[in-house]
Amino acid sequence: MLSGCLIRSYEPANQALPQKCLRDVTLNGMNPDSSGHTSFFVASLTLRVKHPDISPMYRGSDRMTFEASPANHKKGVYKMNNKSETATLAGGCFWCLEAIFDQLEGVIQVVSGYTGGQIQNPSYEQVCTGNTGHAEAVQITFNPQIISFRELLEVFFSTHDPTTLNRQGADIGTQYRSAVFYHTPAQKTEVERIIKELGVTGVWKQTIVTEVKPFTAFYPAEEYHQKYYRKNPEQAYCQVVINPKLAKLRQKFAARLRSSG
């Protein structure tokens, strides 16, 4: 298993990077293709020290592609084909959203935070007043080769109510609004498409009020909000609000869950 980091480059053990940064790296499944690229499955990785080429973002055991041109193949230098993308979604309390998307295969990282407001680096207390314009949201880093933005949206629109304006259950206020903050024109198109499809199929009886806005800035929430469900599974809110959402996720999207559960 990987121990919490994203490899941006790898060099054999007799060269500088692994000697300084990695204690145990196992590469399996070497399959060169016609373009001269080689795919590996990183089975084991342990960090020894920090290095600018390694970012503490990666969790899980997804497949990663290392590019090896004929020129550097003999040198054993491989660079990862970093294809991760970002989605920013708001739909009620970020504790719920984080717990849900953290379950999905292909999701690299989920961070709870604030977006869509007027001031920089707001605190939880400021956002709770409803005066900053921010929504509680999650910033999702994902591998589109494993899970698509469309699939993330399908989960999103199935695990919160997109028809209640500025409200999710007992959580009321503009900070709990339903919104998608798109990062690219393609994301905007996909959000608008799925909202239209949901309207036609009548999955939701009421009109969907999810905002579709361009992404501007995201501010991570305080540390005690991060991985809240994982740290506090017995807390009343987790039991009463989050657990039913996770049960629905497991029932409807079982094939998309991490193999480790």
Tell me, what's the pLDDT at 49?
29
Domain assignments of the chain as residue spans, ordered by start: 6-80, 85-255
Query: What does the radius of gyration of the chain's CA atoms come to, in whole angstroms?
Result: 20
Q: Which fold does the domain 85-255 belong to in CATH?
A: Peptide Methionine Sulfoxide Reductase; Chain A (3.30.1060)
What is this structure's pTM?
0.70
E strand or H helix that includes residue 192: helix 185-201
DSSP 102-169: TTBTTEEEEEEEEES-SSSS--HHHHHTT-S--EEEEEEEE-TTTS-HHHHHHHHHHHS-TTSTTEET
Q: What is the pLDDT along the chain (261 residues), one digit of tens a residue?
A: 233 333 333 333 333 333 333 333 333 333 333 343 333 333 333 333 233 333 333 333 333 333 333 333 333 433 344 589 999 999 999 999 999 999 999 999 999 999 999 999 999 999 999 999 999 999 999 999 999 999 999 999 999 999 999 999 999 999 999 999 999 999 999 999 999 999 999 889 899 999 999 999 999 999 999 999 999 999 999 999 999 999 999 999 999 999 864
Distance CA 177, CA 164 (A): 8
Query: How do 78-80 and 64-67 pair as beta strands?
Result: antiparallel
Q: Which residues are catalytic?
A: 93
Query: How do 6-7 and 85-91 pair as beta strands?
Result: unpaired
Distance CA 56, CA 191 (A): 29
Residue 255, classed as helix, strand or coil, is helix
* CA neighbor of 89 nearest in space, from 142, 144, 139: 139
